[in-house]
Amino acid sequence: MEKMHRIILKNRKGQIGETMTWVVATLVVIAVLGVSIVFTKTANPFSKEIYSYDKEKDFLASLSVTNFLSENTNVNYLENLDKNSELKIESLLLTMPAGTRYKGEWSLDLENSGDSETINLNLKYLLFPEFFNIKIEKSNLKLNFWAKCPTTCK
Amino acid sequence: MEKILSVYWFAILLIVAGGIVAMVLIFYGKPYDVRELEANALMNQVADCISTDGEMAYPLSELETNFLENCHINFKTENAKNQFYLALNFYDFNNIGAEVAKGFYEGNPNLKGDLIASSLFANEKSFYVLNKDGEQPKEIVVKMLVIIDKNGENA
């Protein structure tokens, strides 16, 4: 009787092994699907909000700067850059924040007959800034302005 | 044994298919929220309309009159309730707190009151423009506030 029982058990070892394989495979499939579903749900919270990241096409920033340059006294300010004109340009930069959700700032690099000066607002919150460059040339002036945003300009 | 395996395979197929359907529903089930783009497009249109060659295209005192028609803006949507609010304010560039002219709004003013409590989209931007309209300051900053409801369509 004992011997018979051992034989039956020995014969079932293959079946048990195969069943275990399928059970584990099923658990793996469920786990992979579960992780995928959780990942889809959690890793995608903001992706439904479509933002315009490309600040090179920031119409209002370009409009502000070109409007500013259409006034000759402002061009003179830029050509004879001193503390007052820097303050004026900083005021201009303050009127045009970059980004919607995370407000960034524009900086302006001014090149006049070989001399170069960068003007920015020095807001110290930029850990991983993104940069977008826009170039404008007027008479001897070359303006290069760019946006810096906290992590992203969206 | 083969019968059991067939049933098992169908069960696995159903689980995998169900999982894929769930993921697709989660990913595509909500509509895309394009209100930031809408707000930007609206503000660009307004700025383009009221600023020409660096200057205000209209005198500040006359800007409010037929503003939407002049700027070719239409707030009509498929909803009966107006889904947009646009406010314009004008400040002196050299004294940014000082208003140089009375601001005005278009669209649904109730949206401004609902702003904190609900998930409306709001965006405020400004731009520099020259004003050649006599007594008022020459350099002004135009501030635009856009609020868009459209919660059903976007969120």
Out of B14-18, B102-106, B115-119, which region has the weakest mean confidence (pLDDT)? B115-119
Q: Is residue B77 part of a domain?
A: yes
The answer to whether residues B51 and B12 belong to one domain is no
The answer to whether residues B73 and B113 belong to one domain is yes
| Cβ contact B54–A92 (<8 Å) | no
Q: Per residue in A81-133, pLDDT tens? A: 777 777 787 788 778 777 666 566 777 777 776 676 666 665 544 444 444 45
Q: Mean pLDDT, to the nearest integer, of B34-52?
A: 92
CA distances for A82 relative to A36, A79, A85, B119, B142, angstroms: 58, 9, 5, 46, 26
Q: Is residue B140 part of a domain?
A: yes
Q: For helices A2-42 and B2-28, what crossing angle results, to 10°?
A: 10
Round to whole Å and give the CA distance between B33 and A154.
13
- Bridge partners of A136, per DSSP, are A143
The answer to whether residues B6 and B51 belong to one domain is no
Stronger pLDDT, A152 or B112, i.e. the higher one: B112
The confidence score (pLDDT) of residue A126 equals 44
The answer to whether residues B19 and B59 belong to one domain is no
The answer to whether residues B67 and B123 belong to one domain is yes
- Asked if the model's pLDDT at residue B96 lies above 70, the reply is yes
A95 with B126: CB under 8 angstroms?
Answer: yes
Q: Per residue in A32-76, pLDDT tens? A: 999 988 888 777 655 677 777 665 567 888 888 888 888 888 878
Q: Which domain holds residue B1?
A: 1-30
Measure CB to CB from residue A95 to each of B22, B128, B130 and give the nearest one.
Answer: B128
Stronger pLDDT, B118 or A12, i.e. the higher one: A12
- Asked if the model's pLDDT at residue B153 lies above 80, the reply is no
Q: Is residue B154 part of a domain?
A: no
A105 with A121: CB under 8 angstroms?
Answer: yes
Stronger pLDDT, A23 or A99, i.e. the higher one: A23
- Asked if the model's pLDDT at residue A11 lies above 80, the reply is no
Q: Is residue B155 part of a domain?
A: no
Round to whole Å and give the CA distance between B119 and A52.
20
Round to whole Å and give the CA distance between A34 and B48.
50
Round to whole Å and give the CA distance between B61 and A70.
23
The answer to whether residues B8 and B47 belong to one domain is no
- Bridge partners of A104, per DSSP, are A98
| Cβ contact B130–A71 (<8 Å) | yes
A69 with A138: CB under 8 angstroms?
Answer: yes
The answer to whether residues B4 and B75 belong to one domain is no
**Chain A interface test: which of B93, B125, B148, B154 (most A C-beta within 10 Å):** B125
Measure CB to CB from residue B37 to each of A41, A52, A96 and give the nearest one.
Answer: A52
The confidence score (pLDDT) of residue A129 equals 43
**Residue B23, min C-alpha distance to chain A (Å):** 5
| Secondary structure letter of residue A64 according to DSSP | H
Q: Is residue B54 part of a domain?
A: yes
Q: Is residue B88 part of a domain?
A: yes
Number of domains in chain B: 2
Say how many residues make up chain B.
Answer: 155
Does ipTM surpass 0.85 in this model?
no
| Cβ contact B27–A66 (<8 Å) | no
The answer to whether residues B23 and B58 belong to one domain is no
Q: Is residue B153 part of a domain?
A: no
The answer to whether residues B50 and B13 belong to one domain is no
Q: Is residue B65 part of a domain?
A: yes
The answer to whether residues B124 and B65 belong to one domain is yes
- Record the pTM: 0.73
The answer to whether residues B20 and B73 belong to one domain is no
Nearest chain A residue to B146 by CA: give it.
A100
Stronger pLDDT, A13 or B91, i.e. the higher one: B91
The confidence score (pLDDT) of residue A77 equals 78
The answer to whether residues B91 and B45 belong to one domain is yes
Nearest Cα to A71, choosing from A4, A146, A138? A138
- Asked if the model's pLDDT at residue B50 lies above 90, the reply is yes
The confidence score (pLDDT) of residue B97 equals 82
